[in-house]
Amino acid sequence: MYAEEFMRSRSQVFSKSEFDIGRTDVLHHRIDRGDNVPHFERLRRHPTCQLPVIDDHVEDMLRHDVIEPAASPWCSNVVTVRKKDGSMRFCIDYRKTNDLIKKDKFPLPKIDTCLGMPPTGTELRELPDEARVLTAQWESLLLRDDVLYRRFHHPDGSTRHLQVLLPGSLRRKSVEELHAELGHFGQYKTRLAVLQRAYFPGWRSFTNLVVRNCTVCNQSQRSMQAPRQTALRPMREFRPMAVLHADLIGPVVEGKNSREQRGFQ
Ligand SMILES: [Zn+2]
């Protein structure tokens, strides 16, 4: 949806018909032929059936200001090429002319190489924090079937596998489900399981938080410890300024303290 809006808002840059080609005054182009003499060739005969096609096209180009009448020492012939759909394409045989002019030879960088380079300078500074963390690991990132992965290298070089880069919206659910599937193991084993499958900046503390917040884990009493999470205890959240919801359950008993202040217990 966003892409469509973006393209519509800039619709003037797209050509809507064959002669809707626009013109720029930003740059003036000059063709450099060096010391070569102009190329002039005798007009070729065209099959009679093609003459109306050529005339129509020349008329159209004149009308749309693509060409103008000229008396020039340069002359190249019109050629018509049959298109796949049977209609004729109007071309001009500029091959000899092109041989006489100097080509602009700018060393354009390869697009693949440009796109494969990590962002630098201002572009890097303007990235969100998380993207900067990922940029620092550019060499380890890998795009496969439109999914972004990170190559995991164990410090001792033993384990090498791909971790899928989890988008923000899937992190909590994925880690929670993984933790539950494992059978509610603790932080260390849950982290190990995440490490083998997925990656995102801050995944370690995020995983620890998921385990600490797990309702199932918190309800089960271990050895002599009291349950770690009961009603009306501080709730931990994942992000600053997150919106928390709590259900109040009643009935709430009214009472008073030693100083006779009344309130709910
Ligand atoms: Zn759990």
How many other C-beta atoms can be found within 10 angstroms of the C-beta atom of residue 75?
12
Domain boundaries, the chain: 23-100, 140-219
What is the pTM (predicted TM-score) of this model? 0.46
Distance 176 CA to ligand 1 centre (A): 8
Distance 94 CA to ligand 1 centre (A): 74
Does the pLDDT of residue 236 top 60, yes or no? yes
pLDDT in tens, 37-92: 989 988 888 888 888 888 998 999 899 888 888 888 899 999 988 888 888 888 99
Ion ligand 1 neighbours (CB, 5 A) are 184, 214, 216-217
With H, G, I as helix, E, B as strand and everything else as coil, classify residue 111.
helix
Angle 66-71-76 from CA coordinates, rounded to 5° = 70
Mean residue pLDDT of the chain comes to 83
Closest to 148 (Cα-Cα) out of 110, 196, 206, 200: 200
pLDDT tens for each residue of 95-135: 999 999 888 777 666 666 766 777 788 888 888 888 888 88
Q: What percent of the chain has pLDDT over 70?
A: 86
Q: Which residues contact 182 (CB under 8 A, 6 or more apart)?
A: 189, 190, 193
Residue 12 or 94, more confident: 94
Taking residues 250-262, what's their average pLDDT? 75
Question: Residue 87: its pLDDT value, please?
Answer: 82
CA 91 / ligand 1 centre spacing (Å): 72
Please indicate whether residue 225 or residue 121 has the higher confidence score (pLDDT).
121
The lowest-confidence range among 126-130, 200-204, 248-252 is 248-252
Helix axes 168-181, 187-195, angle to 10 degrees: 120
Quickly name the fold that domain 23-100 has. Answer: HIV Type 1 Reverse Transcriptase; Chain A, domain 1 (3.10.10)
CA of 226 to the centre of ligand 1 (A): 16
Residue 25 Cα, ligand 1 centroid: separation in angstroms? 67
- What is the Å distance from ligand 1's center to 241 Cα? 25
* CATH tag, 140-219: 1.10.340.70
Structure tokens at 164: 């899928």
User: Ligand 1 centroid to 190 CA: how many Å?
Assistant: 9
Q: Which DSSP category does 192 fall into? A: H
The owner of tokens 């050895």 is 223
